Amino acid sequence: MALKDKRHQEITNKIRKIMKNVGDDILVEGIMPSLEIPKVGYDNTVWSDEKRMLTIGEKTVQVGPNSSKKIPTFAQYLVMANAIRKLLDEEMESTIRGMYYATLSTVGDENNQQKFWNGQDDSDDAIKAIELLTNVPREEFSVTSKPKGMISGPITLSVGGDLIDCNLGSRATSQLIPTNIRDLEIVKVKADFVMVVEKDTVLNNIRKSGFIQKYNAILLTGSGEPDRATRMMVKMLNEKWKMPVVIFADADPWGLGIALRYKIGSESLSYDSDRLVTPNSKVLGMMFSDIYEYNIPKVARLAATPEDLNRANDMKKKPWLQDKRWKKELNLFLERKEKCELDAFFKYGFKYLADTYLPNKLREAGVI
């Protein structure tokens, strides 16, 4: 516990330093305070050849109370920073939703009353800003999100000292991946590889089929967009426990995006790639070409929406997706305008996905 305290002190000192700077600007220097925050987004996302992942660039934004738009934002950031400091001082932990509630307030007088936050998105953004300002990931603030990642297979975790064996003999359930990662440790791994799938429904199907036992695999899912804990778990298994990682997502631009989150990172979390991205992982499917290779019946294919097409066109333009393989896949999608979910294999029988498609793909990739 002593070690933890020290880290907490480091972080609260960082926050106090920010407060002091703002106070000095106003009191001593008599100037408008301003916070310099690294810019997050496409135009400040840089591909690193060395790290093989997306990283954040040099650009920054100034947030100070100098425009009608920024006055509330500036106040929100300071209020959130203070709330995080309190949380750490009190040795408590909270979800991002909890932080939203802890800082809820109204602004203004009777004639002109507004909400301090327009919604949780605002407070989430403020938490992100404090991460960027302090260069500390929010898990170290003891601020987490609701767990939604799931794991199954021959792995034992320790959460705050409690051992959790994920190799559940019943095949009936999976373990949630805890989000309070500072309390989480991997104790034992006895698998040959790690397979990440996009959705929990697909994971359940594969688990039920006995895939884990047959191929000695760990199954993981982020249940859609993976949270940070899931991404970190994948990275840890790959880099610390030397597990090969393969990823399967739906054959649509959304699914491809999710698969790539694990492998190369994302624009919105580019500042945290070092903790979250697993560059050695392999995205094996479902490829757009698989729709035709496995001759998915027409009824199981879905028509691409205009949104899908925009997304695919956007992806094609990203400098980090210029790899021939991705271009070919995206072009195929844009040409055929068809997408497909992994669940489509159920059309060939409930066991086809786990018994035929996945082993084929894994064999092709030399994983089994």
* Sites of contact with other proteins (CB under 8 A): 13, 15-17, 19-32, 34, 36, 62, 64-68, 71-72, 74-75, 78-79, 81-82, 85-86, 105, 107-109, 112, 116
Q: Which is nearer to other proteins, 64 or 279 (CB)?
A: 64
Q: Which is nearer to other proteins, 64 or 257 (CB)?
A: 64
Is 292 an annotated catalytic residue? no
> Which member of 42, 101, 348, 352 is catalytic?
101
Q: Which is nearer to other proteins, 103 or 270 (CB)?
A: 103
Q: Which is nearer to other proteins, 23 or 210 (CB)?
A: 23
Provide φ and ψ at 305, rounded to 5°: -85, 160
Q: Are 270 and 56 in contact (CB under 8 A)?
A: yes
Q: Which is nearer to other proteins, 36 or 239 (CB)?
A: 36
As measured in angstroms, the least distance from the Cβ of 89 to other proteins is: 10
As measured in angstroms, the least distance from the Cβ of 10 to other proteins is: 10
Task: Write out the catalytic residue numbers.
Answer: 101
